[in-house]
């Protein structure tokens, strides 16, 4: 829920004294019905999904909310092996799976992708590593891969109505023995 408590339209276009619910999942009508039940009287809903809701008196009201804007995350991971005897054969697949699992479960709607947080799932789940480097990029489309110059070792800003999307196919792992 993103509120605009001010007397003016905010920077993201929310009207004065309104709120925007950014909802991932669910059925549009169910979401609108619930928002109608819990929203304060006189406070406007805002969003790009508009659903009609009928109140207890039979009056129809338009209730608005938004769906998250997808930010597709791409990663390039380079791992240097320190102890080959401990380093597993399936390390590349494990790294991809753990990054996807962590990213999908940690970064919700409006959460920036914190670059440094991605190192933990790698070091915690793959033994024998000497060092790891990660570069990240994001795109508004699931394909194609961003240009090499778009990748950097930095956080990715996610808009307030955005959500990061993680997929193993968008993670490249290079192993240096």
Q: Are 113 and 166 in contact (CB under 8 A)?
A: no
| pLDDT tens per residue across span 101-158 | 999 999 999 999 999 999 999 999 999 999 999 999 999 999 899 999 999 999 999 9
- How far is 78 from 91, CA to CA, in rounded Å? 12
| pLDDT tens per residue across span 24-76 | 899 999 999 999 999 999 999 999 999 999 999 999 999 999 999 999 999 99
**Above 90 in pLDDT, residue 8?**
yes
- How far is 26 from 138, CA to CA, in rounded Å? 26
Identify the pLDDT of residue 124.
97
Q: Are 75 and 146 in contact (CB under 8 A)?
A: no
Query: CA-CA distances (angstroms) from residue 73 to 10, 51, 65, 94, 143?
Result: 28, 31, 24, 18, 11
Structure tokens at 83: 């102890």
| pLDDT tens per residue across span 86-99 | 999 999 999 999 99
Average pLDDT over residues 152-173: 96
What residues contact residue 56 under an 8 Å CB cut-off, 6+ apart? none
Residue from 132, 172, 119 nearest 148 by CA = 172
Structure tokens at 6: 């001010």
Identify the pLDDT of residue 9.
96
Helix, strand or coil for residue 123? helix
């Amino acid at each position: 829920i993103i509120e605009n408590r001010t007397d003016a339209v905010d920077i993201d276009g929310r009207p004065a004294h309104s709120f925007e619910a950014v909802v991932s999942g669910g059925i549009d009508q169910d979401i609108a019905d619930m928002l109608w039940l819990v929203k304060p009287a006189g406070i406007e809903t805002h969003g790009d999904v508009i659903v009609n809701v009928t109140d207890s008196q039979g009056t129809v009201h338009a209730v608005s909310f938004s769906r998250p804007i997808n930010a597709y995350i791409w990663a390039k991971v380079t791992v240097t092996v320190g102890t080959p005897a401990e380093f597993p054969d399936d390390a590349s697949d494990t790294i991809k799976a753990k990054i996807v699992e962590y990213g999908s479960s940690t970064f919700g709607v409006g959460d920036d992708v914190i670059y440094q947080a991605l190192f933990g799932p790698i070091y915690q789940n793959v033994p024998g590593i000497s060092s790891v480097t990660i570069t990240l990029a994001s795109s508004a489309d699931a394909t194609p891969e961003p240009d090499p110059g778009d990748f950097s070792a930095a956080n990715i800003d996610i808009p307030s109505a955005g959500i990061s999307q993680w997929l193993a196919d968008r993670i490249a792992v290079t192993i240096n023995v």
